[in-house]
Amino acid sequence: MAYSGPFEAGDRVQLTDQKRRHHTIVLQPGESYFTHKGEIRHDDIIGAPEGSVVESTLGEEYLCFRHLMVDHVLSMPRGAAVIYPKDTAQILVEGDIFPGAKVLEAGAGSGALSMALLRAIGSTGKLISYEIREDHLAFARSNVAEYFGHEPEQWDPRLGDLSEVHLDDLDGPVDRIILDMVEPWTCIDNVAELLHPGGVFMTYVPTVPQLMNIMEHIRDKKCFTEPRAWETLLREWRVEGLATRPEHRMNAHTAFLVWARRLADGVTPPRPKRRARK
């Protein structure tokens, strides 16, 4: 799919009606999309500039834009729950995912985070994705291939348990490790073995007991910096003159993110000290 320019056959297009309802179509010459508001001809969209309005046969107007990654993630088939965009953005920035990075993720799920990581590392990077369930891995491979049009060459999806992975399996250490799994603390020894000194380790855990467990295991391992933990809450606003107010619904808790960096071999982390009270 092209990222800009006039619409072409094969583009995935999101149609938005006047009530902000979304419909997604893949443009094909001669085809039509039917709604309760009439027929929308693909040929009326192909060749038009992005941001155009197409009219159905019953006079309903639809705004046309190409699918963004966030649209694809929120509408794609799922085998497991996805990491939502608000958390993905935090992982990309706080995890310092850079072009050319060698990244390991475990818990590929439905492939939402994999797609964001693949775009961030670029064609010179490497993403190795472990998934313990075959059906989830199939969803991830299908969704990633649908988004990119093929399985990217820099992606290596694998069926397996990260707790059984060793350095030789990865052809050397990795720059970043991201875990989205039920018991990430069971892999803490592997993370320490597989991650470069200075590398960033992040986990995504939904519940407080999971958060407490992974934090204590990172501390007990004594080869990481003091871990940080946080959650991101997203609240949109309705801006309509004097009626401006927060939306009634918000994207509140989805998961906690935990962040730490690998220390050099043989280094013991300094004991954290609290500020003295005045």
Q: What is the pLDDT of residues 100-146, one digit of tens each?
A: 999 999 998 889 999 999 999 999 999 999 999 999 999 999 999 98
**Rounded Cα–Cα distance for residues 109 and 240 (Å):** 39
Tell me the pLDDT band of 186, cut-offs 50, 70 and 90: very high
* H or E stretch covering 35: strand 32-35
What was the pLDDT predicted at 3?
Answer: 78
**Rounded Cα–Cα distance for residues 215 and 94 (Å):** 17
User: ∠ CA 24-146-38 to the nearest 5 degrees?
Assistant: 15
Q: Which amino acid is located at 180 in the chain?
A: D
pLDDT per residue as tens digits for the range 191-242: 999 999 999 999 999 999 999 999 999 999 999 999 999 999 999 999 999 9
Tell me the pLDDT band of 276, cut-offs 50, 70 and 90: low
pLDDT per residue as tens digits for the range 131-142: 999 999 999 999
Percent of the chain whose predicted confidence (pLDDT) is above 70:
98
* H or E stretch covering 153: none
Place of tokens 């490790």: 177
- pTM for the structure as a whole: 0.87
pLDDT at 271 over 90: no
What was the pLDDT predicted at 278?
Answer: 62
What was the pLDDT predicted at 1?
Answer: 65
